[in-house]
Chains A and B, each alone.
Chain A
Amino acid sequence: MSERIDGSPDTNEGTPLPSDGPLCEDDVCALPGAEADGPAIAKIEPDLAIPSDDPEAFLEFAEARGWGDGLPLLPPTPARVERALACLPPGIDPDEVLTALPPRGGLVTRRTLAVNAVMAGCPAGTLPVLTTAIRALTRAEVNLRGVNATTHPVAPLLIVHGAVATEQDFNGGLGAFGPGNRANASVGRALRLVMLNVAGARPGGGDASTQGQPSKYTYCVAENQSETPWAPYPESRGLDAPSAVTVHCGENPHNVQDHEVRSAEQTLEMIASTMTTLGSNNAPVSSAEWFVFLGPEHARHLADAGYSREDVQRFLFEHARLPMARFRRAFEIAQYADWEEALGDDDDKPIARDPDRFRILVTGGAGKHSCVVPSWGMTASVTLPLLP
């Protein structure tokens, strides 16, 4: 008896053929070989015709092709696409291939992004935000193939920082995660359209998300820099740029309300308690990040009590904990650091393995609310300077 590739004894080698038909004769077809190198330029043409520029007719046209998110779309005519591209500096080739998006392997050019931006209703001038977000999403640490394909409801959250947030009217203030602001709504939506149309992350196709989540329609906010008591978030990541974009692939926001704000520690305890939930995919993956969006009043309250951003991170690391026994009971499959694995059942284990996994920034307006956005687990956020 020979040994199998997994080391187990082989018990059926040479087994007779009880139903000896060729099961797979035509199941797997030979495919033509791929070219050695992808093209540096991928020019697309407006080679589709619709009867008119009527939005209803276009919606039916798009629906028949599986394009879009189910909501009304603006027809991407050459004139509209050119207007979207007009914000680019001279010398930029709109057909240059920037990257390819998994799982479909769709090629990204600025023109393709502009087409999707037009369909989503993006204001002129916002294309670089979308372009930078897509560049960030293709960094290896994001694990975009997993993000797009998983059964988890994860969606990329696009966070806009600095001058471009002000110049392009992104909302980092009251209701920033909600409706009513065109830049937030449409640029977040354009990112999702790119995932659907270019990356092929369509429900039941490239996207296996069991339930989906509302933020798979649009998920974009700005950092409220004017009401942040600390340095801008990109600076905390070592980035000195007038404008920047962060992508964080996560769940919908989980609200944290603390109306009494009796002490900084109580507010932070409430945030920590929102994080210590075993149902989160971050619970079995301690390398995962938690984005904490402090409302400005909570942030000011913490800063007035002497807390720096790093102090907040450290507090959450030290207090967002559960007994190791609860993690062990909940998960047979988990990814913890060696020192976490060595903890006793009665020891408290942090929900994330070091303080830097807790990312702190300010978004929102008046009121005593903050929120946390757990990630999908096997993904890391990326912050890039704004790129054309």
Chain B
Amino acid sequence: MAETRIYSPEGSVDPNAAPTARVAIGSLAGKRIGALDNGKSGARALLRAMGERLALRTGATFAGVVQKQTAATPCETDLLERLAAEVEVVLTGTAD
């Protein structure tokens, strides 16, 4: 039976779309952990509890929670830059 050649419908991927800032962080001991509230109900309380618990378990410092402007839009660049400058690890949530 003769085979048929086809295209993939996925195309290729923008190399700039891949995350570039992710690095291996090793142990959390001594690191600063921040949290980014995605704007959904309960996110701040959940992230704060997680961050504080994680810090307790690992010897890290929990640096607090900041919130992006709305749940439906990407996080503001200046807020991301601030997080990048002040903490090594960011907890956040997706969806509801």
Residues of A within 8 A of B (CB): 4-8, 10-26, 28-31, 33-38, 42, 44-53, 58, 65, 67-68, 75-78, 81, 100, 102, 104-109, 111-112, 115-116, 119, 143, 145-146, 149-151, 193, 197-198, 208, 210, 285, 332-333, 335, 376-378
Complex-state Cα separation, A47 to B6, whole angstroms: 6
Neighbour of B41 across the interface among A17, A34, A100, A332, CB < 8 A? A332
Q: Is the CB of A77 within 8 A of B6?
A: yes
Which residues in A have their C-beta under 8 angstroms from that of B63? 4-5, 10
Q: Is the CB of B16 within 8 A of A35?
A: yes
Tell me the bound Cα distance from A273 to B6 in angstroms: 50
Cross-interface CB contact of B14 among A23, A38, A45, A48, cutoff 8 Å? A38
User: B9 to A116, Cβ gap below 8 A?
Assistant: yes
Whether the pair A105, B16 counts as a contact (CB closer than 8 A) is yes
The one of B10, B34, B71, B74 that contacts A67, using a Cβ cutoff of 8 Å: B10
Known A29-B24, A332-B41; contact A4-B11, beta-carbon cutoff 8 A: no
User: How far is the CB of B7 from the nearest CB of chain A, in Å?
Assistant: 4
Residue numbers of B with Cβ under 8 A of A are 1-20, 22-29, 34, 39, 41, 52, 54-59, 61-66, 70-74, 82-83, 86-87, 89, 94-96
Q: Are A23 and B58 in contact (CB under 8 A)?
A: yes
How many A-B contacts are there with CB distance less than 8 Å?
203
Asked whether A78 and B18 contact (CB < 8 A) given A7-B64, A22-B27, A378-B72, the answer is no
B86 contact set on A, CB distance < 8 A? 5
Is A52 a contact of B14 with CB atoms below 8 Å?
no
**Which B residues lie within 8 Å of A36 (CB)?**
16
Question: Is A151's CB under 8 angstroms from B16's CB?
Answer: no
A109 to B, closest residue via Cβ: B11
Q: Is the interface of B mostly helix, strand, loop or mixed?
A: loop
The binding surface of chain A is classed by DSSP as loop
Within the complex, the shortest CB–CB distance from A66 to chain B, in Å, comes to 9
Q: Is there an interface contact between B34 and A5, defined as CB atoms closer than 8 Å? A: yes
Report the minimal beta-carbon distance from A253 to chain B, rounded to whole angstroms: 22
Residues of B contacting A198 in the complex (Cβ-Cβ under 8 angstroms):
9-11
**Complexed CA–CA distance, A31 and B13 (Å):** 15
CB distance from A338 to the nearest CB of B (A): 16
Taking a contact as CB atoms under 8 Å apart, the answer to whether A34 and B20 are in contact is yes
Report the minimum CB–CB distance from A351 to chain B (whole Å).
18
Could you write out 7 A-B pairs with CB less than 8 Å apart? Answer: A15-B55, A17-B57, A28-B25, A35-B16, A37-B16, A106-B10, A285-B72
| A-chain residues with CB within 8 Å of residue B87 when the two chains form the complex | 5
Contacting B7 at CB < 8 Å: which of A11, A26, A78? A78
- Name the residue in A24, A28, A75, A332 with the highest tally of chain B Cβ atoms < 10 Å from its Cβ: A24
A31–B20 Cα distance when bound, in Å, is: 7
- For residue B37, which residue of chain A has the nearest CB? A6
B15 and A38 contact, CB distance less than 8 A: yes
Q: Are B65 and A193 in contact (CB under 8 A)?
A: no
**Inter-chain contact A143/B18, CB cutoff 8 Å:** no
* B29 CB to nearest chain A CB (Å): 6
Which residue of chain B lies nearest to A196 when distances are taken between CB atoms in the complex?
B9
Q: Report the Cα distance A68→B8, complex, angstroms.
A: 11
Contacts A30-B23, A100-B17 given; indicate if A52 touches B73 (C-beta within 8 A).
no
A233 to B12, alpha carbons, bound, how many Å?
36
Inter-chain contact B13/A106, CB cutoff 8 Å: yes
Q: Which of A47, A107, A145 contacts B13 (CB 8 A)?
A: A107
Min CB–CB distance A256 → chain B (angstroms) = 27
A7, A100, A149, A193 interface centre (most CB from chain B within 10 Å):
A100
